[in-house]
Amino acid sequence: MDRPICLIECFGGLRVRRGEEIIADEVGSATRARLPHRVSLLLACLALRSGEPLPREVIAERLWPDQPPGLSRNSLSTTLSLLRRHLSALDPLLPTPDGLFIANRDQIGLDRSLVTTDVGQFEALLNTAREATNRKGAASPAARAALLAQALSQYQGDLLPGFYEDWIDSERERLLGRYREALRHQALAWEAAGDFEATLRAAEKAIDTDPLNEDAYRLLFRALIALQRPAAALTAYSRMEAVFKSELGIAPPESLQQIAQQLRTPSAIPTVSAPVPISPTPTPKSTAISEVALPIDIDLSAYDEPVGGALPLDSPYYITRPLDNRFFAALKRRDSIVLLKGARQAGKTSLLARGMQFARASGARVALTDFEATGDAALASTDSLFLFLAVLLADQLELDDDPLADWSPERGPAMNLERFVQRKVLHRDLPPLVWGLDNVDYLFGYPFANEVFALFRSWHNRRSLDPSGAWSRLTLAIAYATEAHLFITDLNQSPFNVGTRLTLSDLDTAELTELYRRRGALLGDSDTVQSLFALVGGQPYLAQRGLEEIARRESEQRGAGAELLNRLENDAISEDGIFGDHLRRLRRSLERDDRLLNVVRGLLRGVPIPAEDDLYRLRSAGVVIGDTIATARFRCTLYARYFARYLAVSSPASV
């Protein structure tokens, strides 16, 4: 049997992947095809069958419930050939020209030797986990929990959000039910394994998807008690009380009330017995995963440094930070402008992508513009940029209107864009729009940056005047790294001093610990976290890369975590070491700028940064951290050591 060459994902939105790369989805971009709605429906229809062929009549009836059968059969053939064309990026990999589909006069199906689906994997993994539980003594609780975690990681969001067909609705409900059940089982398994932090997380997630789930609360309280965090348990209890009251108008069930009573009696806490003995730093067995044979080979450690800085949406290693929720809250409030600022590689792009997903799930339309990937043609002039933005919106939002049809040279580019956005994009019959703008700093160098920003600002002001007009249906989520005031002549004619402002910082030790735990099934002692933190600070990429490497080496049985880290530290600053590519890139970009290079060399000798501008530029490049010249320092020890070796004054120029 041939290896599958592509993955169709239906959880959290429809996507077709080749490896890590998305080649088609509902949004589309320069590098991926946008699937029109009807084509998406056909693909969903086939994907949800896990490859079982479906009679053409059944498919046609689902796609065109209102059309006479003869007509819809024709439409189906056309739609199938459209679908093939949208997936043509896969053609070179296909063994036969028939493509991914097995289609004949009567039925259509997916070729299961070439295609897998996330729904299929999710269910297969859950079935394996269930068998592992039922088979007597087959798997340890930790292994079972790990297996469930793999299944759960497939579930990236509700099934096909934005599709309202009956046959999708019922499937969505069924899969959500399985997901909730699996979360509860996972919490139980972690509890049985004695890992209460993990129990806590699983229980929280279970409550998150079902805020009235008594079993999940019970697990949550038991975990908090086992972790000796009675205050947190009490807080959790009162919040639960509020949820029960507001949702059902009743008090929580009596069994839960008894727990609260125990909590309120301080002396009672230590005597509440957890199902298994408390271990102060639960350390999952390092061999947990290898105890069971996995039915589908999922490479948990696959993670390359993303060029644009984003973790895949489904990455199990994405850490949700409090800032994420503030971002989502702003999107949910439909704020006019949300600013996301953070140094290079602080996770802006990842967060923006998650925000877009959240916004879509909450009923908004979304569009995304990455100015770094915009291309020179669009940035040739004010007119080309504004036209590009209009075309991009029309395309991503699948509008039938052609912006060019009403683009008048007499009106000027900004007013043309404004007119198109107000009349067509924000039409009152359409849902609100969240427009993500990534790498906005890239515009700062262009003479027309001020014009773009003044236009955005005026939209914000327009909305102040008319809180229910067209402009109230627009949220701009703007991600950037640089101090805007260095480039913008007047911030009051820009979006940069209004709206909700969020600043991303590096991971702290608690978050690094959490990341470490997610690699946890493979890792040794937790001193490793502290040592790694000392080396790379909370720089998200370096932290991810370091943990991945430790996990990889350990799985190859080459020693314990701390010892590995020792070795890692020794070759960390080598350009052949694991951070080599990243460090080289950083060095090259510094070497292109004589002034900053000298500032860095000075900093190595203890000379303070000479000017605020230099501080801001080094900070946005992600090289230093600190609010003032006096407190500025290298972002992590690794950088300081690497620069000391490679950028010392006598160092030869770049290779």
The helix-helix angle for 637-646 and 527-536 (nearest 10°) equals 50
Q: What is the CA radius of gyration of the chain?
A: 27
- The span of 254-262, 559-567, 587-595, 625-633 binding another protein (CB under 8 A) equals 625-633
Q: Which is nearer to another protein, 451 or 554 (CB)?
A: 451
- CA angle 385–391–392, rounded 5-degree value: 85
- The span of 74-82, 462-470, 531-539, 545-553 binding another protein (CB under 8 A) equals 462-470
Q: Which is nearer to another protein, 74 or 492 (CB)?
A: 492
Cα–Cα distances (Å) from 199 to 182, 196, 260, 300, 598, in that order, read 13, 5, 19, 21, 51
Q: Which is nearer to another protein, 412 or 580 (CB)?
A: 412
The contacts of residue 22 (CB under 8 Å, 6+ apart) are 15, 16, 32
* 234 near another protein (CB under 8 A): no
Q: Which of residues 206-225 bind another protein (CB under 8 A)?
A: 207-208, 211
Cα–Cα distances (Å) from 497 to 454, 491, 565, in that order, read 12, 6, 43
* 236 near another protein (CB under 8 A): yes
Rounded to whole angstroms, the Cα distance separating 354 from 98 reads 36
Cα–Cα distances (Å) from 493 to 87, 215, 422, 453, 465, in that order, read 44, 53, 20, 7, 17
| Beta carbon of residue 321, minimum distance to another protein (angstroms, whole number) | 10
Is 119 within 8 Å of 47 (Cβ atoms)? yes
**Cβ atoms within 10 A of the Cβ of 79, count?**
21
Convert residues 411-440 into a mask of x (bound to another protein by CB under 8 A) and - (unbound): xxxxx--xx--x------------------
Residue choice 4, 36, 157, 306 for contact with another protein (CB under 8 A) = 157
Half-sphere exposure of residue 625: CA atoms within 13 angstroms, side-chain side: 18
Q: Which of residues 300-339 bind another protein (CB under 8 A)?
A: 320, 322, 324-326, 328-330, 332-333, 335
Q: Which of residues 338-357 bind another protein (CB under 8 A)?
A: 354, 357
* 637 near another protein (CB under 8 A): no
Q: Which is nearer to another protein, 167 or 616 (CB)?
A: 616
Rounded to whole angstroms, the Cα distance separating 30 from 631 reads 42
| Beta carbon of residue 183, minimum distance to another protein (angstroms, whole number) | 11
| Beta carbon of residue 298, minimum distance to another protein (angstroms, whole number) | 21
Is 329 within 8 Å of 335 (Cβ atoms)? no
Rounded to whole angstroms, the Cα distance separating 506 from 634 reads 13
Q: Which is nearer to another protein, 250 or 465 (CB)?
A: 465
- The span of 23-31, 266-274, 299-307, 464-472 binding another protein (CB under 8 A) equals 464-472
| Beta carbon of residue 640, minimum distance to another protein (angstroms, whole number) | 22
* 463 near another protein (CB under 8 A): yes
Put the strands of the sheet holding 337-341 in their side by side order: 365-370, 433-438, 474-480, 337-341, 500-503
Q: Which is nearer to another protein, 159 or 586 (CB)?
A: 159
Is 203 within 8 Å of 220 (Cβ atoms)? yes
| Beta carbon of residue 130, minimum distance to another protein (angstroms, whole number) | 25
Q: Which of residues 467-526 bind another protein (CB under 8 A)?
A: 467, 469, 483, 485, 490-493, 496-500
Residue choice 108, 129, 152, 455 for contact with another protein (CB under 8 A) = 455
The helix-helix angle for 527-536 and 540-555 (nearest 10°) equals 140
The contacts of residue 53 (CB under 8 Å, 6+ apart) are 102, 107, 108, 109
* 239 near another protein (CB under 8 A): yes
Q: Which is nearer to another protein, 119 or 319 (CB)?
A: 319
Q: Which of residues 585-614 bind another protein (CB under 8 A)?
A: 612
* 29 near another protein (CB under 8 A): no
| Beta carbon of residue 325, minimum distance to another protein (angstroms, whole number) | 4
Q: Which residues on neighbouring strands pair with residue 15, listed in sequence order?
A: 9, 25
Is 268 within 8 Å of 260 (Cβ atoms)? no
Q: Which is nearer to another protein, 318 or 642 (CB)?
A: 318
* Three-state DSSP state, 625: strand
Q: Which is nearer to another protein, 463 or 518 (CB)?
A: 463
Residues that bind another protein (CB under 8 A): 157, 204-205, 207-208, 211, 235-236, 239, 320, 322, 324-326, 328-330, 332-333, 335, 354, 357-358, 382, 410-415, 418-419, 422, 447-448, 450-451, 454-455, 457-467, 469, 483, 485, 490-493, 496-500, 612, 627-629
